[in-house]
């Protein structure tokens, strides 16, 4: 499917706007590891990494999507503009696993 400039511009604007609150949330990552036991929770570590990577991915992917579009790689531009949804899905999955496996507590193994 060929992506057009309008969809690419809207996606780029939304991702750049999403990177700002994403960075504010990423600043809170150290608070997830208040207890020493939390550093042994693999699900929490992966979730924290995804939270921390989201602002960078949301800021870089639109730039790479426009470069792909300029090189007539429309499929690559489509994939890149949708790539930041993967960390969001991973964070939601991580918190769901923590909720069900640990009862919402970060300090379980």
- pLDDT for residue 1: 61
Separation of CA 16 from chain center: 12
pLDDT band at 109 (very low <50, low <70, confident <90, very high): low
Task: Give pLDDT tens digits for 20-79.
Answer: 999 999 999 999 898 888 888 899 999 999 999 999 999 999 999 999 999 999 899 999
Task: State if pTM tops 0.75.
Answer: yes
Token code pair at residue 19 = 């990177």
Classify the phi-psi angles of 72: left when phi > 0, otherwise alpha if psi is within -120 to 50, otherwise beta.
Answer: left
Rounded to an integer, the average pLDDT of 83-87 is 94
**Integer Rg of the chain from CA:** 17
Between residues 101 and 27, the one the model is more confident about: 27
pLDDT higher than threshold 80 for residue 11: yes
- pLDDT for residue 65: 95
Alpha helices (H) along the chain: 5-26, 42-70, 74-82, 85-102
Which residues have CB under 8 Å from 102's CB, separation 6+? 41, 108
Give me the residue spans of the domains in the chain: 5-102
């Amino acid at each position: 499917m060929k992506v057009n400039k309008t969809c690419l511009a809207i996606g780029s604007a939304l991702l750049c706007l999403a990177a700002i609150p994403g960075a504010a949330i990423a600043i809170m990552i150290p608070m997830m590891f208040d207890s020493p036991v939390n550093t042994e929770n693999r699900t929490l570590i992966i979730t924290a990494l995804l939270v921390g990577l989201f602002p960078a991915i949301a800021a870089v992917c639109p730039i790479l999507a426009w470069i792909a579009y300029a090189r007539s790689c429309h499929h690559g531009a489509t994939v890149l503009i949708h790539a930041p949804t993967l960390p969001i899905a991973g964070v939601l999955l991580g918190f769901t696993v923590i909720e069900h496996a640990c009862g919402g507590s970060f300090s379980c193994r």
